[in-house]
A and B are shown apart, each in its own frame.
Chain A
């Protein structure tokens, strides 16, 4: 038996979570370093997985399979395709930055707290690693039940991260902040639980129909023609899965939990939420909705495309109207998730490769923008845009990195989000021209909300409240600089990523039985 690469990649952060949680209350710094080391080890492991992965090889690679609950066919089946590898890498890459950015977010407010069991720092970093472990495993799972379990379980640590750790200073005082935070956390949990419950019914349904939870077995059954799923059953089950993923992604109109959750949590947690955890939703659409229910996916496509289009425009318009920096970024993310979902359901190579790249690029660009926003907020203790002005004069590096993060968010060519956004647009346009054209309005609106945010916070005369604000510290530069370097590198040379993703997309396309539309004229090449 070969080395269990995938299990190790998942086990490292899981073990890290336990070790970090066990660090004694007084050794806060040790806990932070423990978490950082484990997250870096996971990153190394993810790099090894990428190297071992053969883009030209079979669909699920580095597979591991162990019987688990034999009685009802649940097994511990792991395996990755190109899409899974790309998202695995994104997750492993972002967590060290999340940890480093949140270095001081969970320091206890009063130094001398008598209760020896009071150790928020350990809890904070352990929870982050726990989320990482579950997300990683959900990208690796090829068993529907195992995936469902993780899909639900990751809500628990996420809930505590949102509800338990907020920004330090708050306009309404600590009491009000705590109330709003717990409201946001509960909203997050309830929305996702409801989605999960509906998915649960569909998961059971899959078992009833196929008699197995294994993705590969189901694919074999389908190929052999032994899968007897009536059209209407397939559609109902599809809807069950899709609803859960749409809530998580999130898609209009079940998006309202995201702005409150991102607004109330600290910036690193918000990044964890939107850049990492939410990707499980869009990933699952590609993996589970399309591959398990090809017919139903095509049946639902028109409605989903319209919802995605609404998300794009609606999310962007709401971002323009926000007065809170974090909520603005949250609505921008909703717009971007619309692009991702549109790319997936356009069912073209460009659309789906673009959507997968979009997941990765959105992760990096949102992390860059949100983390710098977090640094800004931590200096002044306010999330309101109107509390800032003229920051570029006192903190030019902060302003510069914020601008680059913003330019990535508006998909400036030369930065990686452009590549994915354009692929999604082209992929959509080639099958649904009208939807593709309307979606381009999104690129104008993105420029509007990003540049208005930059203008109001960074330019103009220096506000009294901003006077004397310090520029980025070394730790903060260490967080932002690699992300920016990556945005530029993948913007100019995305080929390493497309090489991994393309074959997997080709596989998905053939499972859905869709081919790219032909150009009207074959050009003389």
Chain B
């Protein structure tokens, strides 16, 4: 059974290889091949899962060793896999949601002439993400880590002829590289501290390391997590990443890849547990991002960018929970899974709306769509109820647990964190209700307004293929698209209750991550009540602003905060001024320095040694023989000198 683990990765990897190297002949069957191979991975995952359930909680970890990867003296990196309950959870999420999104893409990308390549990239992503969660050492994890970064780069920039897409792709890769620097340094520190970077070796020895070392390693891992999971201060790439096709946003930039940071921290629990300072940094990052993302989500009129802000914010919840230590690990992962369902569903819903609206993304040009897209409306609506934490739905169970865990941290810290998570819940209810109202209710603001011309560079090129750019005619998407939405909606509704009731998820994951209750100053009932009150407040304010009053087709000027939030709270402006402009000046002046100073000084020094620069000018006349001569002159000197030495 253990030997099946490699097949999980091999199936989609094969798909990627075949689809990317195969020629035009595969254009027609490409989408099907990609979907089947992703599905195969899910089936293998399910078989392994069934096998795992049959074993006792203590010996569920399976391992597979393939070969020695980089063996150099004490440095041993193997290609080996480890499948335990934590990895298993991810395997099912990645291959499951991944396959659903493959199916959805068959419909969504039907008119794109490069769809074979699209499915190749998707398969590459699934393979790399599975490698990330199955690796049994940090260096192999790194390979998966950058592999998903590559897939993300390729998919964000899939419509490469759009300059904005190419720029967004590059930005995502670069920001992630800064995080990767952290992962590199963490691995180097592990090697010099423990002499190994395999999970078993590191975690087994972690208790013997000094707190300083553990803190350093953990902070570097946190930097890596910030990059991949779009947490402050490395969050700026996620909003731009929405340039990619919507299924990509759903799979990579909502459900799976961006949660890799949460995986990394949870996986490294043994390191973080010994480094309280690093854990404090983790909760601060999570808390700040939670509010940051939520505020940005409130201000955006672009439906995908608003959802991207929401993703940031929800991952902030997970990171915060992971930073709480054993009190929060399980709930971080639980929220990650439920979020995978409802956020993927919401994105697919957004894609379905765009599909029916000539790829318009501005919510101010939507309105009243519930009549025209009933399936999308219902599935999106269920996702909406799940994310705001409506009682009984997924988000209610998983988010509530994180709020409780935040209070259970204890002390002033616990109160602050608890308050932040509660505030976040209110803002979530606000921006999601706003989105729901602007899209599906109210006036039909798209009447008599042509959508942007397909020649405009910022339009998704699918519109070009369909050749419609007059007034949109909203319609429901084909069933190949709606079925995945329905499946995800079922997950959004039921997963939370399934996991939460009887602490099923807790008992499943506890053997890997450990768990402690903490000591909460407030009872669970009070927390739930407070969450519900804030939910009503948030949703209510949104209703007053966007439900009771008509939505202006052009955004009002807004307050200072709104205007800042529309610009991602000015982080890009900061980056532009400090990093981009500063960098340009630096490289330009260095080019100048290299050309004049370095070259000049070296030539000048040479000249002062023997009039070389004068010779340079003379030699340039092209007497090649003289170079040969001078060289053999050198040889003659050595011969003469050695003969002389012997004579002496």
- In the bound complex, do residue B72 and residue A186 qualify as a contact, i.e. CB atoms below 8 Å apart? no
A441 vs B642: C-alpha distance in the bound complex, in angstroms? 47
Pair count A-B, CB < 8 A: 232
- In the bound complex, do residue B73 and residue A460 qualify as a contact, i.e. CB atoms below 8 Å apart? no
A430 vs B634: C-alpha distance in the bound complex, in angstroms? 42
- Judge if B586 is at the interface, Cβ distance under 8 Å: yes
Residue of A nearest to B648 (CB): A208
Instruction: Flag B52-89 by CB within 8 Å of A: 1 or 0 each.
Output: 00000000000000011111111100010000000000
- In the bound complex, do residue B590 and residue A321 qualify as a contact, i.e. CB atoms below 8 Å apart? yes
- Judge if A426 is at the interface, Cβ distance under 8 Å: yes
Residues of A within 8 Å of B177, CB to CB, are: 443-444, 447
Identify which of B174, B188, B209 contacts A447 (C-beta below 8 A). Answer: B174
Give the interface centre of A320, A322, A425 by most chain B CB atoms within 10 Å.
A320
A354 vs B188: C-alpha distance in the bound complex, in angstroms? 14
- In the bound complex, do residue B161 and residue A461 qualify as a contact, i.e. CB atoms below 8 Å apart? yes
Residue of A nearest to B209 (CB): A521
Residues of B within 8 Å of A433, CB to CB, are: 192
- In the bound complex, do residue B631 and residue A156 qualify as a contact, i.e. CB atoms below 8 Å apart? yes
Residue of B nearest to A319 (CB): B587
Residues of A within 8 Å of B587, CB to CB, are: 317-318, 320-321
- Judge if A111 is at the interface, Cβ distance under 8 Å: no
A197-B184 CB under 8 A given contacts A419-B70, A524-B204: no
Residue of A nearest to B612 (CB): A190
- Judge if A519 is at the interface, Cβ distance under 8 Å: yes
- In the bound complex, do residue B635 and residue A208 qualify as a contact, i.e. CB atoms below 8 Å apart? no
- In the bound complex, do residue A254 and residue B602 qualify as a contact, i.e. CB atoms below 8 Å apart? yes
Residue of B nearest to A321 (CB): B587
- In the bound complex, do residue A522 and residue B195 qualify as a contact, i.e. CB atoms below 8 Å apart? yes
A72-B642 CB under 8 A given contacts A183-B620, A523-B201, A525-B201: yes
Of A35-43, A89-97, A146-154, which stretch is located at the interface? Answer: A146-154
- In the bound complex, do residue A208 and residue B645 qualify as a contact, i.e. CB atoms below 8 Å apart? yes
A186-B174 CB under 8 A given contacts A495-B71, A524-B205: no
Residues of B within 8 Å of A197, CB to CB, are: 634
Number of interface residues of B (CB under 8 A): 85
- In the bound complex, do residue B67 and residue A493 qualify as a contact, i.e. CB atoms below 8 Å apart? yes
Residues of A within 8 Å of B70, CB to CB, are: 419, 422-423, 494-495, 498
- In the bound complex, do residue A155 and residue B631 qualify as a contact, i.e. CB atoms below 8 Å apart? yes
Residues of B within 8 Å of A444, CB to CB, are: 174, 177-178, 181
Residues of A within 8 Å of B73, CB to CB, are: 349-350, 353, 502, 506, 516
Identify which of B160, B188, B196, B599 contacts A425 (C-beta below 8 A). Answer: B188
Interface residues of B in 169-202 (CB under 8 A from A): 170, 173-174, 177-178, 180-181, 184-185, 187-188, 191-196, 201-202
Residues of A within 8 Å of B143, CB to CB, are: 413-414, 418
Taking the closest CB of chain B, its distance from the CB of A159, in whole angstroms, is: 6
Taking the closest CB of chain A, its distance from the CB of B167, in whole angstroms, is: 7
- Judge if B552 is at the interface, Cβ distance under 8 Å: no
- In the bound complex, do residue B174 and residue A521 qualify as a contact, i.e. CB atoms below 8 Å apart? no
- Judge if B371 is at the interface, Cβ distance under 8 Å: no
- In the bound complex, do residue A425 and residue B184 qualify as a contact, i.e. CB atoms below 8 Å apart? yes
- Judge if A4 is at the interface, Cβ distance under 8 Å: no
Residue of B nearest to A462 (CB): B161
Interface residues of B in 609-641 (CB under 8 A from A): 612, 615-616, 619-620, 622, 624, 627-628, 630-631, 634-635, 637-639, 641
- Judge if B553 is at the interface, Cβ distance under 8 Å: no
- In the bound complex, do residue A523 and residue B202 qualify as a contact, i.e. CB atoms below 8 Å apart? yes
- Judge if A407 is at the interface, Cβ distance under 8 Å: yes
Taking the closest CB of chain A, its distance from the CB of B638, in whole angstroms, is: 6
- Judge if B576 is at the interface, Cβ distance under 8 Å: no
Identify which of B139, B590, B638 contacts A318 (C-beta below 8 A). Answer: B590
**Which B positions have Cβ atoms within 8 angstroms of A?**
20, 67-75, 79, 139, 142-143, 145-147, 150, 153, 157, 160-163, 165-167, 170, 173-174, 177-178, 180-181, 184-185, 187-188, 191-196, 201-202, 204-205, 208-209, 213, 457, 583, 586-588, 590-591, 594, 598-599, 601-602, 606, 612, 615-616, 619-620, 622, 624, 627-628, 630-631, 634-635, 637-639, 641-643, 645-646
**Which A positions have Cβ atoms within 8 angstroms of B?**
69, 71-73, 145, 148-149, 152-153, 155-156, 159-160, 163, 182-183, 186-187, 189-190, 193-194, 196-197, 200, 203-204, 207-208, 252-256, 314, 317-318, 320-322, 349-350, 353-354, 390, 392-393, 400, 407, 412-414, 418-419, 422-423, 425-426, 429-430, 433, 436-437, 440-441, 443-444, 447-448, 451-452, 455, 458-462, 492-495, 498, 502, 506, 516-525
A-B contact pairs, 23 of them (CB 8 A): A72-B642, A163-B624, A189-B627, A194-B612, A196-B631, A208-B645, A318-B590, A318-B594, A349-B75, A419-B70, A425-B184, A429-B185, A430-B188, A444-B181, A447-B174, A451-B173, A493-B67, A493-B69, A495-B68, A498-B71, A516-B74, A519-B74, A523-B204
Q: A186-B616, A314-B594, A350-B74 are in contact. List 14 more A-B contacts (CB 8 A).
A: A321-B587, A349-B73, A413-B147, A423-B72, A430-B191, A433-B192, A443-B181, A444-B181, A506-B73, A520-B192, A522-B205, A523-B202, A523-B205, A524-B204
